[in-house]
Amino acid sequence: MGKDGRPARSGDVILGEDWTSGEGLVDPALRASRDRRGLVSLNRSPLARKIILFNLLALLVLAGGVLFLNPFRDTLVTLRGEALVNEAALVSDVFEAVAAEAPGPMDAARLSRVLEGVQVPPGVEAFAVAADGTVAARRMGAEPTAIATRPTPIVDTLTGAWNGVRNLVSGAEPDAAAADGFALVQTLLPAALKGEGVRIDGRAADGGRLFAVAQPVTVNGQVLAVVALSGDQAGIDLLVRSEREQVLLIFIVSLMVSFGLSLVLASTIANPLSDLAAAAELGRDRDARKMAPGRVRIPDLAARPDEIGRLSVAMRGMVTALYDRIDANEQFAADVAHEIKNPLASLRSAVGTMRLAKRDDQKNKLLDVIEHDVRRLDRLVSDISNASRLDSELVKEEEEEFNLVRTLTNIAEYLGQQANEKGVEFITDFPPDAIMIRGLEARLAQVFVNLITNAISFCEDGDAVRVWARRRENRVLIVVEDTGPGIPEQALTKVFKRFYSERPQGQFGEHSGLGLAISKQIVEAHGGVIWAENIRPTHADVTSDPLGARFVVGLPV
């Protein structure tokens, strides 16, 4: 539950001592920040700003490309020019037909009469030019029908702004040199009088485009006159502006939808990452003693089927492992202090008693006690040092593939001599084929040496130690058995604990109790398992005396 009585949410950072249950006080600063926050805090989240910016940038480039390339307008302009060329050819055919029916000179009066009988397209001006280059007649077609278009406030605003910026930067004025269709026609006459059909276009003062076409009237290979047509875009700009308005409207709607979706996407990414970062920073500040000490709980986002969920699970696992390591170190320090106190207390007692001893035999006995306790302390300190370095060394050392059978064979050859010297029969049973595993050969050899030497130490003259290995599918089992006194039932669950030692009376103080604990740590670091059990007769009562002890190590292959 939270401080205000509400249940703590999964994304809250918890302060408290019960790490496993998750109970504690929700950090008030983080909760207040989460409550005030909407979808995402753009002013505090660079990641959210980048997500929104990149999503909108692609849409802006697409819309800008459509408006800049403007294929709709270019197509209409091309069609308009081609239509004017075709119309000029038709008018020229009419003049040629008249000239062919009534041969004679095509003077100004005749050209004017023929032009009056021609239907000039709306919005187009027609010119009839005599063979000497003089304009005999000109006629304007009907006013074009107004094109019904919607208002274009967006396009008008953007066009005005663009023209203002362009004129401000370049200082250019609109080109008025070709603002008249008649002027364009005059530029075409020299080529047309030579029998060439010519088309030209130019930009008028208002920014619209003018078209002019000159077509010769030819009879029997002789140019009798020239017919010319000129016209503007005839509503193309209005259509284009209306089309651009629709594109911009769709773009604005798409921009709003994209912004909203980007905001939601950014919130689903940036907010959880912000919570994870806040929890990590909270733990960093506490470690720096800037805040009251307490446990840090990483937000639980395991329900998310994405990388953020995986990151949350990984961070929670790392924090849990860190706290477990801290707890283990604290327990290890306490155990070390307890184990060192025992020989120190014995030393203190022996030294104190030695001052009171009068006889030499009493002093020699006390010196033996002191020597034994010093050796015990030296062995204890060495084993503690090795155990404390084990974790870091397991991480630093590089794993390699090696033949486990060969390693066990070499160990058995060396330790078999030690067993024979003690009168213990040493039996090995290894498969003939190699068993290749990947790991730290020296560390695993340390495990097997420890298990075998322990088995030998519990045996007496006439007992036996057997070491065998078998491969089982994807695992290999290494078993060390002895015919010694076995393991007390109450000690089966304790033998792998630090500093626990169950030894015969004559071996007291000769072992630190760290060997099996270190062995368990090495095996588990390789992804394996290790356990201890007693050997009993088949189908015998479990309460009967054991026939010996068995240690089993399972390693992945």
Q: Tell me the pLDDT tens digit for each residue of 286-295.
A: 544 444 455 6
Cβ-in-10-Å burial (0-12, 13-18, 19+) of 192 comes to buried
Decide if pLDDT at 5 tops 50. no
More confident residue, 175 or 119: 119
Decide if pLDDT at 519 tops 80. yes
More confident residue, 474 or 3: 474
Decide if pLDDT at 532 tops 70. yes
Cβ-in-10-Å burial (0-12, 13-18, 19+) of 224 comes to buried
pLDDT of 58 reads 78
Decide if pLDDT at 473 tops 70. yes
Query: In this structure, which amino acid lies at residue 526?
Result: H
The CA distance from 470 to 557, in Å, is 12
Q: What is the pTM of this model?
A: 0.49
DSSP 63-93: HHHHHHH-HHHHHHHHHHHHHHHHHHHHHHH
Query: SS3 for 100-119, per residue?
Result: HHCCCCCCHHHHHHHHHHCC
Mean pLDDT, the chain, rounded, equals 76
Query: In this structure, which amino acid lies at residue 334?
Result: A
pLDDT of 499 reads 66
The CA distance from 454 to 456, in Å, is 5
Q: Tell me the pLDDT tens digit for each residue of 247-258.
A: 788 888 888 888
pLDDT of 338 reads 66
pLDDT of 480 reads 94
In this structure, the number of other CB atoms found within 10 A of the CB of residue 37 comes to: 14
The CA distance from 216 to 227, in Å, is 6
Query: SS3 for 116-159, per residue?
Result: HHCCCCCCEEEEEEECCCCEEEEEECCCCCCCCCCCCHHHHHHH
pLDDT of 55 reads 80
The CA distance from 514 to 380, in Å, is 9
Distances (CA, A) of 90 to 214, 216, 367, 507: 12, 11, 135, 125
pLDDT of 553 reads 94
- The 10 Å CB-count burial string (b at 16+, else e) for 310-339 is ebbeebbeebeeeeeeeeeeeebeebbeeb
Q: Tell me the pLDDT tens digit for each residue of 334-371.
A: 767 766 777 788 888 888 888 887 788 888 888 888 88
Q: What are phi and psi of 477, to 5 degrees?
A: -110, 130
More confident residue, 175 or 210: 210
The torsion angle over the Cα atoms of residues 275, 280, 282 and 286, rounded to 10 degrees, is: 170
Q: Tell me the pLDDT tens digit for each residue of 19-76.
A: 333 333 344 544 555 544 555 556 667 777 777 788 888 778 877 776 666 666 677 7
Q: Tell me the pLDDT tens digit for each residue of 155-202.
A: 677 677 767 776 777 655 544 444 577 888 888 888 888 888 777 776
| Residues paired with 220 in a beta bridge | none
Q: Are 482 and 548 in contact (CB under 8 A)?
A: yes
Return the H-helix or E-strand segment holding 392. helix 360-396
Return the H-helix or E-strand segment holding 539. none
For domain 397-557, which architecture applies? 2-Layer Sandwich (3.30)
pLDDT of 7 reads 39
For the chain, counts of helices (H) and of strands (E):
12, 14
The CA distance from 341 to 347, in Å, is 10
Two structure tokens written together for 149: 């278009």
Average of per-residue pLDDT across 471-489: 89
Q: Tell me the pLDDT tens digit for each residue of 216-235.
A: 988 888 888 888 888 877 66
User: 395 falls in which pLDDT band (50, 70, 90)?
Assistant: low
Rg (CA), the chain: 50
Average of per-residue pLDDT across 324-335: 74
Average of per-residue pLDDT across 110-125: 85
Two structure tokens written together for 106: 């095509």
CATH number corresponding to 301-396: 1.10.287.130
CATH number corresponding to 89-234: 3.30.450
Q: Are 402 and 437 in contact (CB under 8 A)?
A: yes
Decide if pLDDT at 469 tops 90. yes
What is the percentage of the chain residues whose pLDDT exceeds 70? 75
Residue 507 is classified by DSSP as G
Two structure tokens written together for 218: 């030819």
So where are the chain's domains?
A: 89-234, 301-396, 397-557
Q: Would strands 436-439 and 400-403 be described as parallel, antiparallel, or unpaired? A: antiparallel
Q: Are 453 and 431 in contact (CB under 8 A)?
A: no
Return the H-helix or E-strand segment holding 29. helix 28-36
Q: Are 178 and 204 in contact (CB under 8 A)?
A: yes
- The 10 Å CB-count burial string (b at 16+, else e) for 249-263 is eebeeebeebeeebb
Q: Are 501 and 511 in contact (CB under 8 A)?
A: yes
Whose tokens are 């021609």? That residue is: 118
Q: Would strands 135-140 and 124-130 be described as parallel, antiparallel, or unpaired? A: antiparallel
Q: What are phi and psi of 184, to 5 degrees?
A: -65, -40
| Among 266, 267, 271, 263, residue whose Cα is nearest residue 299 | 271
Query: In this structure, which amino acid lies at residue 368?
Result: D
